Amino acid sequence: MLWPGTAHDTPEDSMSDTLPALVADIGGTNTRVALADGKVIREQSIRRFRNAEYNGIDEVLARYMAEEGISDVAGACVAAAGPLRHGAIVMTNLRDSDDRPWVIDAGRVSQATGADHVAILNDLQAQGQALGHIAPENLRPVVAGPVEAGGTMLVVGLGTGVNAAPVHETPWGRIVPPSECGHVNLPAQSDEDFRLVRFIEHLLDSRGETAHAGVEEVLSGRGLANLHSFAAAEAGGQSEAASAEVLAALAAGDATAAHAARLYTRIVAEMLADQALIHLPYGGIYLIGGMSLAMAPHFATFGLEAQFRKPRRIPLLQGEFAITVVADDYAALTGCAVYLENGGRG
C-alpha cells in the first residue's frame, strides 16, 4: 500500500491484464478519457471532449475508442459529479439533444466500450481512491501536521462545486462513502458572518435561485465572486467581478479582493476544522480542485493554519491533521484506475 508523499506506482507494479483499462472523468464542460495499465495512467492517451458536442457518455466513449483504434479493454470506470444511486449518476447539468439529462450507468459504459468489468464512481470518490498513488511533486503542504499511515484521510473538493468525504482503509479494501456536504450551512460565529449569510440569501433570491447560504456558495469558483460582492457591499460599493477577476485584483493588491480572500480562507478553515472533528483524518486532509490551487498561495497570508487550529474544548485541532493541496489534474483518472485494479465494480 502506498501513502501520500511516498513513491508512486510504476507500470511494473501493476497486476492488470495485457489489455489496458479505460477511465473517464466527467466535468461540467469537458470529459477526460484515458487508458490505464493497472493503476498507472498512460499520459499520452489522455483526451478531452467537449460535453456540449455529444448526447451522452456512451457517445464520448465510443468516439474515444474509435480515435484510439481499440476495440477491447480490460475494464472501464467512469467518475462523474453528482450522487450515485442504484448504480447510476444523473447529470442534470448535461443534457442531450432531446433535453434529457445524461445518465451514467454500467449498461451505457459497457455498450460503448465492450467492457464486462465496469464501475461508476462519484468524482470525489475517485479522488479519494487516488490518494496514495499521486506523485510527491504534486502534493503541496499548506498546514503541517503528523500523518498516520493507514489512518482515515479526508478528501475535500473546492472547484466548480464543493464536497468532502472520508477515505477509510479497511481489511476489505478502501472505502470512500458518498457525500453532498458542500450544501451544509455556512459557519456563522461573528456579526460579519451573519451579515454574510443574509447577503448570500438575498443574492441567490435575486437570481431566482434557492436562497440557502451553504458553504458551496462561498467556497466554489462562483463563491469567491460572491464573497467579493459582499466585501464590496461592506465598503459601500458593489461588484459583479468574476472569480478570475477577483484573483487578478488580489494579485495586484486590491483591498476589496483581499477582504474576499480573507473571508474565503477563514471559512474554508472553519469548514475543514468541523470536518476534521467529524471524521478524525489522522491520515491527512487533501484539498483538490481549481479553487484549492488558486487560493493555496494565499492561505498563509490570510491565516489558514491559525484559523484551522483555533482552540476548541477538545484539543485535537491544535496538533493533529495535516492539510495538503493536490496539484494533479488527472487524480480522478488515477482513482478510477486504482479502483478497477483493486477489483471494484458497480
Between 160 and 8, residue with greater pLDDT: 160
pLDDT of res. 75: 95
Helix (H/G/I), strand (E/B), else coil: 162: strand
Helix (H/G/I), strand (E/B), else coil: 73: coil
**pLDDT, tens digit (0-9, with 9 covering 90-100), for 182-216:** 999 999 999 999 999 999 999 999 999 999 999 99
Residue 342 · residue 174 · CB < 8 Å? yes
**pLDDT, tens digit (0-9, with 9 covering 90-100), for 102-127:** 999 999 999 999 999 999 999 999 99
pLDDT of res. 90: 92
Residue 246 · residue 286 · CB < 8 Å? no
Q: Given a cut of 60, is residue 4 above it in pLDDT?
A: no
What is the pLDDT averaged over residues 279-302? 97
What is the pLDDT averaged over residues 120-141? 94
Q: For residues 187 and 124, what is the distance between their CA atoms, to the nearest angstrom?
A: 22
pTM: 0.90
**pLDDT, tens digit (0-9, with 9 covering 90-100), for 146-180:** 999 999 999 999 998 899 999 999 998 899 998 88
Give the full edge-to-edge strand order of the sheet including 88-95.
Answer: 84-85, 88-95, 101-105
Q: Which class for 60: exposed (0-12), middle (13-18), buried (19 or more C-beta within 10 A)?
A: buried
Q: For residues 298 and 285, what is the distance between their CA atoms, to the nearest angstrom?
A: 18
Average pLDDT, the chain: 92
Residue 24 · residue 336 · CB < 8 Å? yes
Domains of the chain: 11-129+330-341 (3.30.420.40), 137-327 (3.40.367.20)
**pLDDT, tens digit (0-9, with 9 covering 90-100), for 88-103:** 999 888 888 888 999 9
- Per-residue pLDDT band at 346 (split at 50, 70, 90): low
